[in-house]
Structure formats: C-alpha cells, structure tokens
Amino acid sequence: MDLYWVIALIYLISSILHCSYLWSQSYRTALLGLYIFKTGVALHSLMLVLFYIKGETIVGGFDKSLFFFSWFISLAYIASHSRFRAGILGAFVVPLVFLMTLPSIILPGGIIEHDPSLRNPWILTHIALIFLGEALFTIAFIAGVLYLFQEKQIKTKKIGAFIKKFPSLTTLDRINHICLLIGFPLLTAGLAVGVISAKEIWGNLWKWGQKETWSLVTWFLYATLIHGRLTSGWKGRKAAIGAVVGFIAFLFTFFVIGYLSPGLHNFLLRNQ
C-alpha cells in the first residue's frame, strides 16, 4: 500500500467521523475526525515535499492537479477551523478532500506530467497561488451554502437539532468575508505571475483562449463581490449568493473549459 492509499484511507475515516456528527450529538466524534484529518494533511504535505525534493512534478494531469488542490483546501479548512471553530464545515470539506484524492489511486499517470514547464518555479508559483485562493473560495462557498440553508430554515421556523449545530449566521458571513478578503489577492497574484511566466516561457503575455477568458470572467465576478462587500455593504444573503455564483464560475472554468479547451493549460486536466 503506497502513501496515496494511506492518505486517502485516513481522509475516508475522517470523513465518516465528521459526517457522523451531523446526526449524532457527540462533539468528540468530530474532534477525533479533525485530529485524524490533520494526520492525513501532515502525510499529504510530506508527500508533496518528497515529490519536490525528488524533482517530480507536483501538479500535472487530472490526478495530480486535484491532489495538489485538495491539499490547499485542507490547509484552508484547518486555518478556518482554528479561527472560527465551525466544525460542521468539516462534514462537507473533508469528504470533498477525500473524493479529490481518489483519482490519484484509480487513474493511471499520464505522459503530460513530464512536461518540463511544470518544473518552472514561475509556473508552480502561478498554480499554487491560484489553488490557494480558490481553496479559500471553496470554504467561502460552503459557508455561503450553509448560510442560505440556515436562513431558510429560520424563516420557515424549522429549527431542529441539526440546525442548532450550525454556527450563527453572523459567523458564517464572517467566514465568507475573511476567505474572500484573503483569497482574492492570492488569485490576483496568481494570475499576474501567470502573465509573467507566459511571457517568459511562451513569448506571449496573454492569449485570449477560452480558459484564459473564463479565468478573467471569474476574477471579475470575485472582484465585484469584494467591491460590493467593502464599499456597498454587501453581506448576509447577497454575499452568500455571490460566493456561490463565483465558485460555480470557477468550477466551470477549471473542469469544463479546462478539459474541452485548455489552451496553454493542457497539463492541468489532461493525462495524455
């Protein structure tokens, strides 16, 4: 059993414990799941470090891209939990991380992983910054969905034991706000590094391919949301909907456009 399997198994166990908190009253179960999850993240980090030391590509192909992205989501969740103690987010984040590690153990590696451009520090920095920003947007998305669900339950006066485990609407809105506030500069820096690296490697600052265009559209959506929160007082329901829409745009750009028309980003989702 290689380290990929060990990490995936740890995340699976943690997912079961986190999800069991949804229908049980035991906070200790969720706490145990968090400790196990942190163990998995530590091994996940070690594996990525070993890849880097050995000169292997950390990202490239569908499997490694998701494996790398899931690591950033894990770090973002641990950071948000340490700040807000919103353990219920783990019931959604941890299973997502587990699912994102599965391609690494069920899909064969692709020859595209040997693309020499993937070892370029500019390219790696570009991808890492964008993934970290989007990892924070993932947490903001989940917080936004939980906000909208909880708000609906409160308005319809359907407040059961399940809803009582949710953080307050104010806390969920705060998580949304902080993740967007930190994630947007990281996304912006990642795009800027991408422009610089494109000029250095391919000789063009910007190519108006579908992937590049939709990445810019996603950036504008988040820029609008950030502007609304900081200058127009957007919060609560409006901000939650914005986080959901922005994340859907990211998923469309990364998975749909990234697979059908990747352009220079062919290495991210194609395995061969």
In which domain, by residue range, is 147 found? Answer: 3-269
What contacts 133, CB < 8 A, 6 or more positions away? 183, 184, 185, 186, 187, 188, 190
Q: DSSP secondary-structure letter at 167?
A: P
Task: List the structure tokens of 212.
Answer: 């590049």
Higher pLDDT, 191 or 111: 191
HSE-CB at 241 with a 13 A cutoff on CA atoms is: 6
pLDDT score recorded for residue 231: 87
Longest dimension (CA), the chain: 59
Predicted confidence at residue 37, as pLDDT, reads 97
Higher pLDDT, 29 or 27: 29
Confidence tier at 82 by pLDDT (50, 70, 90): very high
Instruction: Please state the pTM of the whole predicted model.
Output: 0.89
Q: pLDDT tens-digit profile of 97-156?
A: 999 999 988 876 544 444 556 667 788 888 999 999 999 999 999 999 999 999 998 888
Q: Which residue has the higher pLDDT, 255 or 86?
A: 86
pLDDT value, residue 199: 67
Interval 175-203 mean pLDDT: 86
Place of tokens 């035991």: 26
Please count the structural domains in the chain.
Answer: 1
Q: What is the mean pLDDT of the chain?
A: 85
- Quick one: what percent of the chain has pLDDT higher than 90? 51
Position 53 scores a pLDDT of: 87
Across residues 200-218, what is the average pLDDT? 73
Q: How far is CA 243 from CA 146, 177, 239, in A?
A: 12, 9, 6
The reported pLDDT for the residue numbered 7 is 96
Over pLDDT 70: what percentage of the chain?
Answer: 85
Q: Tell me which of 11-15, 25-29, 30-34, 227-231 is least confident.
A: 25-29
Does residue 269 register a pLDDT over 60? no
What is the reported pLDDT for 26?
A: 74
In order, the DSSP letters of 134-161 are: HHHHHHHHHHHHHHHHHHHHHHTT---H
Residue of 272, 249, 267 lying closest to 197 (CA atoms): 267
Name the band, by pLDDT with cuts 50, 70 and 90, for residue 158: confident
Q: Which range is least confidently modeled, 4-18, 148-162, 243-257?
A: 148-162
In this predicted structure, what is the pLDDT of residue 101? 95
Residue 57: pLDDT above 80? Answer: no
